[in-house]
Structure 1
Amino acid sequence: MLSLLRRSVAPVIFILLVGAIGVFIGGFVIFSDRVTTLDVPELAQPADGIVVLTGGYSRIEGALDLLKSGHGKRLFISGVHYSTKRSELQRVTGGDPELFECCVDIDRSALDTVGNAEESIKWATSRGYRRLIIVTNNYHIPRAMVELGRASKDIEFIPYPIVNTDLRQGDWISRGQVVRVLFVEYVKYVGALARSYLPENWSQFALDLVHRIRR
């Protein structure tokens, strides 16, 4: 009886497993096509503030251009390494010294995207900002939006993707390094998306577990 039950259940488990793998791979293709074809939004109206999530100087340079163009009152750079001096950051990004001094705030607390979201919301709330432009790489936009959406339901976030490599022709699939970067980010995005549906206590438990594993 037990062996018969095993034989009847095994095909079902196999089908479910194959289906889950298919959905995962299909989701990865959709995700990759989406992030590699993201467009820069038309900023008809200025936002209250601009937030850039660190991970490359090109992100900061893009955010500084937005600030200089008057698309936000202030710029918040989240996740700057503790050893990076303000003057050094201004120099390597080519930021205007006066603009950098008057209108740029730096966060050194955030260690990951979750921290970026938390610190950005603290900054925006302290200044009464309700509309933020979020600057980060195109492949990082979906996960950043999930984490920011979890951190606050009262603030409008406008994604502003930075594109370092033009992959609009769909040739990302033939570039091994690009596929690796996209796949790793996709896995992180799926994790963030899954965690966003968990109750708060379970979500915090999952986050603590991830931090322990990273250590």
Structure 2
Amino acid sequence: MGLRAAAGAVAVLALGALVIFGLAHRARQVGRAYRPRPSDAAIILGAYTDGYRPGTALTARLKVGLHLYRRGYVRFLIVSGGRGPDESVSESRSMKRFLILNGVPPDVILEDRHSADTWENLANSRRVMEARGLRTAVIVTSDYHLPRAMAVAHRLGMEACGCAARSGPSEFRYAVREVAARVKYAVSGQAGLRLQ
């Protein structure tokens, strides 16, 4: 490869990285623009947990769910997340424990322990809602993840609004990864590509 070709390849890669970083930043902005409405339940989407110690992203999501419950936006909290290969307990069990320790009555916490991805989180949570006669939900997840979660909820025909947990600088790599996840979901038909 000649010097000119190598320089061109580097320029293309740099441009690609700029585009991906820009889309990741945009996803965070779009996620933060969602506003919750009074609803039957908040669906808190899972993230990494170290045993019963929720990771940074999951703790932020749980605090948003707590805020919605304490402010009277929702009557129920649905915790959704299975057990990943690097986790000793399911995300939902860790989440339920966190909420109980923070004063939420166990009978208002509903669990989905089997989800492995965003589509399953919301499809299973919808079934949990239907079993309880719940119609409306606030989807709670990290800001960069919320646009895709809302697009999935739309595909599933859910009556839902969103409320984002703000991500910190250390989570930006997850926002970058979310760009690829959004494309994958668009290709599979599980969510539209356009950020709303």
TM-score, with normalisation over the residues of structure 1? 0.63
2:194 is matched with none
Q: Is 2:128 aligned against 1:123?
A: yes
Distance 1:86 1:140 in 2: 18
2:66 is matched with 64
Question: Deviations for 1:161-211, whole angstroms, at most 9, x for unmatched residues?
Answer: 10132x6xxxxxxxxx6553222111011111221179xxxxxxxxxxxxx
The answer on whether the counterparts of 1:146 and 1:192 sit within 8 Å (CA) in structure 2 is: no
Instruction: Give the percent of matched residue pairs that are identical in Structure 1 and Structure 2.
Output: 22
Amino acid at match of 1:75: L
The answer on whether the counterparts of 1:133 and 1:160 sit within 8 Å (CA) in structure 2 is: yes
- The structure having more radius of gyration, on CA atoms, is 1
Q: Could you tell me which of 186, 191, 194 is aligned with 1:193?
A: 186
Question: Deviations for 1:136-183, whole angstroms, at most 9, x for unmatched residues?
Answer: 011111221232222x22x22211110132x6xxxxxxxxx6553222
Structure-to-structure mapping, 1:3-14, within 5 angstroms: none
Root-mean-square deviation (Å): 3.2
The answer on whether the counterparts of 2:42 and 2:140 sit within 8 Å (CA) in structure 1 is: yes
1:172 is matched with none
Q: Could you tell me which of 129, 133, 141 is aligned with 1:136?
A: 141
Distance 1:92 1:111 in 2: 20
Amino acid at match of 2:137: L
What is the total number of aligned residue pairs between the two structures? 164
Question: Deviations for 1:110-150, whole angstroms, at most 9, x for unmatched residues?
Answer: 12212101111111222232221000011111221232222
1:47 is matched with 39
Higher helix share: 1
2:81 is matched with 79
Gaps of 5+ in 2: 1-11, 48-57, 192-196
The answer on whether the counterparts of 1:146 and 1:196 sit within 8 Å (CA) in structure 2 is: no
The answer on whether the counterparts of 2:80 and 2:91 sit within 8 Å (CA) in structure 1 is: no
2:163 is matched with 160
| 141-150 or 113-122: bigger deviation | 141-150
The answer on whether the counterparts of 2:138 and 2:162 sit within 8 Å (CA) in structure 1 is: yes
Q: What SS class does the counterpart of residue 70 from structure 1 fall into? A: coil
1:182 is matched with 175
Report the alpha carbon displacement of residue 71 of structure 1 after superposing the two structures with TM: 0.6
2:54 is matched with none
Q: Could you tell me which of 115, 118, 125 is aligned with 1:113?
A: 118
Question: Deviations for 1:7-38, whole angstroms, at most 9, x for unmatched residues?
Answer: xxxxxxxxxxx7xx978963651342241464
